[in-house]
Amino acid sequence: MRILHFFKTYFPDSWGGTQSFIYQLAEGTAKRGHTVDVLFLSRELPSRPQTLGNHTIHPVRLTFELASTGFSIAAFKRFRGLVRQADIIHYHFPWPFMDVVHFATRASTPSVVTYHSDVVRQRYALKVYRPLKNRFLASVDRIVATSPNYLATSRVLQQFASKTRVIPIGIDRSLYPSPSDAALDRWRSLVGDRFFLFVGMLRYYKGLHILLDAVKSTNLAIVIVGAGPIEQQLREQALRLNLSNVIFLGELSEEDKVALLTLCLAVVFPSHLRSEAFGISLLEGAMFEKPMISSEIGTGTTYVNIHGETGLVVPPSDPHALRSAMTYLVEHPAEAKRMGQNARLRYEELFTADIMVSKYLDLYEEMLGDSRTE
């Protein structure tokens, strides 16, 4: 089987939750003997196929951006050529340009879209985009929600519930490096081993401004790994609040990230808007046996993190509740350890890459079976 993924950005040009998901799925299906291509837009990479792990990436030049949506003239021709070879097209929503390419090229290959998030922030643009969005979602053969929570709370997905399946995101421990003793010792000397760790892109919906307010005038240690459009704004807030207990580390290597996941007391994930549909960083915390703190926003974050079992769940945009949750874990180390152990068990039961890959391959086969009987 040959599978074509299409998304606006990808490794190594950029990183984030959706890119990590595509990578995990691409590697997992490729290791089972399938051919996987990933087409995406790039500012930096040359427009030629390249090998990444066990799959092939196809960067095409980004032509321009409009309302945070990337467009590429070259993408139409490259997509059309790759579709001719593909058995399955796997789209990743939302990205309006993807919808345009789908219709402009008259793609008829069996298609599935993983629905990563509702369109939340761009309310005025959504009014213009809604007819195209609905037509696109109606035209694909299957839609995948990444958690039952998101399917139940998304008005858009409810319109297409009959063809929507739930396949949670999974991750593969073997794709993460093991940190050396030297790396662990270096980070332990720099940040200790009783800190709360955030890993992710620094975006408006991540709720990091709430986290900074929560640890004001406390001794709660916070380590923030990642970069993004609001990084400077967050650094200025930390200076304003005189937060000597917060460390911004920017982007780090995978080994350094794993070292910090190994050392931290817990993973904190304060995302407060539905743009945060799942939270791969939570999965990483669970995989490394860490308790988690997240907010109840009606999405997959509360499917990964079960309150009182694998961590604590607090109301969104509530710094006092967030502070209380962190303080509880500090003051109850036995409970924190129990939650971390439960988080690891839940990861093994529901969220391994092997489980995810098997479910997607079953779905692909189902779609191909349908296309043969038409």
Residues 6+ apart with CB under 8 A from 158: 151
Which of 299, 278, 238, 288 shows the shortest CA–CA distance to 258? 288
Q: Which domains does the chain have, with CATH numbers?
A: 2-171+353-373 (3.40.50.2000), 173-350 (3.40.50.2000)
Cis check: omega of the bond before 12, within 30 degrees of 0 = yes
Residue 16, pLDDT score = 84
Residues 6+ apart with CB under 8 A from 177: 254, 255, 258
Spatial separation of the C-alpha atoms in residues 67 and 370, rounded to whole Å: 37
Residue with tokens 């994930």: 269
**Three-class secondary structure of residue 22 per DSSP:** helix
How far from each other are the two terminal CA atoms of the chain, in whole angstroms?
19
Contact 92, 113 (CB under 8 A): yes
**Three-class secondary structure of residue 19 per DSSP:** helix
Q: What are phi and psi of 314, to 5 degrees?
A: -120, 165
Which of 33, 291, 29, 76 shows the shortest CA–CA distance to 172? 29
Q: What does pTM read for this prediction?
A: 0.93
Spatial separation of the C-alpha atoms in residues 184 and 90, rounded to whole Å: 38
Say how many residues make up the chain.
374
Contact 356, 283 (CB under 8 A): no
Q: What residues of the chain score a pLDDT lower than 50?
A: none
Residue 370, pLDDT score = 85
Spatial separation of the C-alpha atoms in residues 195 and 207, rounded to whole Å: 18
Residue 125, pLDDT score = 67
Residue 203, pLDDT score = 93
Residue 178, pLDDT score = 95
Output the CA–CA distances (angstroms, integers) from residue 337 to 201, 285, 290, 328, 351, in the order listed. 27, 13, 7, 12, 20
Output the CA–CA distances (angstroms, integers) from residue 143 to 49, 65, 112, 203, in the order listed. 28, 26, 6, 26
**Three-class secondary structure of residue 144 per DSSP:** strand
The torsion of the CA quartet 271, 275, 276, 278, rounded to 10 degrees, works out to 160
